[in-house]
Chain A
């Protein structure tokens, strides 16, 4: 196969050294429920022509959790091979209509949710927050889902109150903020991703941004690892708040007597190795008993919200991974599933409903639990 940029898959992704050991497929959270088979795809990328990807609807099942990449004994990147195959589908316009709408909206509106750019900052209507033009130590990059999704807006509002409480000097871009492109690149729309990256870097530089703090691990990941030429330092909010906790500026005083289990977001945990800060924040809340999944940290299981899956219904059948995780949490006696990612928040809330645990298990973002601990 050849990438859309005309390179051979074999050379670009170094596929000749693949052992075909199958660890990638064994690690894939979807392979048991879908035809998605990273090992087979790596082989096919070497042996078949581009035409072979045209009828592979299951390529949209991949959540880009990257477990295949992290476990490969040869340091290969099956997940990137899948993204490369998606790019072929994008250029051939073989795109699920929901993905098409998300991409077209991102191009036109700067967000994948089909929402007006002039409504981006509505979540903050009742808050007074500095604009990036006024300058601040941190740029709080809110992200599309926290800006527009009614459930996740609560996370953005909680973070503003927490930053204020901890004395963080921060500003937002308001309606000027645009999609970070993490999901866009993973859906295979390379051209659109590059456009967003260039626009965002230029905007950050115009405002003299030196430090960025994000709501979402997805935005954090792309800024930190994939934005070529970005000079600003990038933090996930759990890192910044953990620092403020250590400095004694974030005071968690109110008791919250709950058994809480933490779901590692793939883009924060296994992909960026931020494991301790979220746990430290949670266990510092008086009264919280922090539980752990058997499969946690590097072994944590994806919620199926990443890689464009928020806009693509999978071909996979059977129990969703988030449903499996809710049941595991229930078996461990958890009352709250704590998340640190907008997509985990949405997929887990759905899973709590579909597994019949509504009213028994709550899904909360860490920021929402911290608010309860500072304000009671």
Chain B
């Protein structure tokens, strides 16, 4: 099996205070701990488990600066065979669509005969949850997101997906396909520092846009459908009102509050 896994090096912001940069387009990186995106860690493990079961090759791909090589080294130490990092100033300002185009171009160059592309369902930093599906679309192949189980069956895969309300959807998908993995699908293995050091011998290739056959206009702000206007921290509201009484009374009261605030279009 020819397996691709797309990973992202992201800051951990669950607990840390996030400070927005003066240009309002990003966050300050100082003091933040970076590592592999949580969903991607499961995608990587699924890629390695698939290789261990069916044989083949895993290539890990990321778009990002030199620091994201930490994440690629972990991928290599855990069992990826080689890694590719794409860096280009023109990628700055790319939305999920532009990133999907870039990933698609790398994949076509580095592993054109892929069987499965694993991604995480979303990234912990911008939380778009779009790259997997968009990547499938740009490559013209099927996809499934929120994947919680994968069974490979002769050119197809049986996929379990997590739906709302505790429902699970089971479907058959034609390979090659993009599978955007949900957390909890497996138990990502530990990799020691010694293991990471040993993996330094494995290939880690760095490419730019022209290497993968893309023009600067296809990515970045020009190649994106979304443009980031501004990042801001939502203001902390001080007041909360809990309406009590019979449902018809509280509903009427709620409607009048919404009306007073001008939130109901006339």
Contacts of A156 in B (CB 8 A): none
Stretch at the interface among B133-141, B189-197, B227-235: B189-197
In the complex, the answer to whether B31 meets A95 with C-beta atoms within 8 Å is no
CB neighbors of B among A82-116 (8 A): 90-91, 93, 95, 97, 100, 103-104, 107-110, 115-116
Is the pair A91, B192 in contact by a Cβ cutoff of 8 Å? yes
Are A108 and B35 interface neighbours, CB within 8 A?
yes
Residue B90 lies at the interface, judged by CB distance under 8 Å to chain A: no
Q: What's the Cα separation between A4 and B198 when bound, in Å? A: 12
The residues of B that contact A90 with a CB separation of less than 8 Å are 190, 192
Indicate whether B87 reaches chain A with its CB closer than 8 angstroms.
no
Would you call A119 an interface residue if the criterion is a C-beta within 8 Å of the partner chain's C-beta atoms? yes
Q: Which residues of B contact A97 (CB under 8 A)?
A: 187
Distance A149 CA – B125 CA, assembled complex (angstroms): 27
Least distance between A156 CB and chain B CB atoms (Å)? 19
Q: Does B152 contact A (CB under 8 A)?
A: no
| Total A-B residue contacts, Cβ distance less than 8 Å | 55
Main secondary structure of the interface of A (DSSP, over half): helix
B16 at interface by CB-CB < 8 Å: yes
Of B33, B189, B190, B194, which one neighbours A109 at CB under 8 angstroms?
B33
Partner of A119, one of B16, B187, B191: B16
Residue of B nearest to A91 (CB): B192
A108 to B193, CA, bound (A): 12
Report the separation of the CA atoms of residues A100 and B45 in the bound assembly, to the nearest whole angstrom: 15
| A:171-192 near B, CB below 8 Å | 175, 189-192
Contacts A97-B187, A191-B197; A117 near B192 (Cβ below 8 A): no
CB distance from B118 to the nearest CB of A (A): 20
Query: Given the interface contacts A115-B15, A116-B12, A116-B15, does A191 sit within 8 Å of B192 by beta carbon?
Result: yes
Task: Kindly provide the distance from the CB of B70 to the nearest chain A CB, expressed in whole angstroms.
Answer: 10
Q: How far is the CA of A24 from the CA of B237 in the complex (A)?
A: 62
**Known interface pairs A118-B32, A119-B15. Does A100 touch B193 (Cβ–Cβ under 8 Å)?**
no
Interchain CA distance A192-B190 in the complex, whole Å: 13
Instruction: With both chains docked as a complex, state the minimum distance between the C-beta of B13 and any C-beta of chain A, in angstroms.
Output: 8
Distance between A311 CB and nearest chain B CB, rounded to angstroms: 13
Once the chains bind, are B31 and A117 in contact (CB under 8 Å)? yes
Q: Which of A109, A115, A116, A189 contacts B192 (CB 8 A)?
A: A189
Bound Cα distance A373, B247 (Å): 60
B41 CB to nearest A CB, Å: 10
Determine the chain A residues whose CB is within 8 A of the CB of B154 once the complex forms. Answer: none
Question: A118–B31 contact, CB under 8 A?
Answer: yes
Q: How far does the Cβ of A89 sit from chain B's closest Cβ, in whole Å?
A: 10
A107 to B197, CA, bound (A): 14
Least distance between A106 CB and chain B CB atoms (Å): 10
Residue A195 CB within 8 A of the other chain: yes
Offer 25 A-B interface pairs, CB within 8 angstroms, sorted by A: A4-B194, A91-B194, A93-B191, A97-B187, A100-B190, A104-B190, A115-B15, A116-B16, A116-B32, A116-B33, A117-B16, A117-B31, A117-B32, A118-B16, A118-B31, A119-B16, A175-B31, A189-B192, A191-B192, A191-B195, A191-B196, A191-B197, A192-B192, A192-B193, A194-B193
What are the 9 closest A-B residue pairs judged by CB atoms, nearest first?
A: A191-B193, A191-B194, A116-B15, A116-B16, A118-B31, A93-B189, A100-B190, A192-B193, A93-B190
Given A108-B35, A116-B15: 18 more A-B contacts, CB < 8 Å: A4-B194, A90-B192, A91-B192, A93-B191, A95-B190, A107-B193, A108-B12, A108-B33, A109-B33, A110-B33, A116-B12, A117-B33, A118-B16, A118-B32, A190-B194, A191-B196, A191-B197, A195-B193
Interface residues of A (CB under 8 A from B): 4, 90-91, 93, 95, 97, 100, 103-104, 107-110, 115-119, 175, 189-192, 194-195
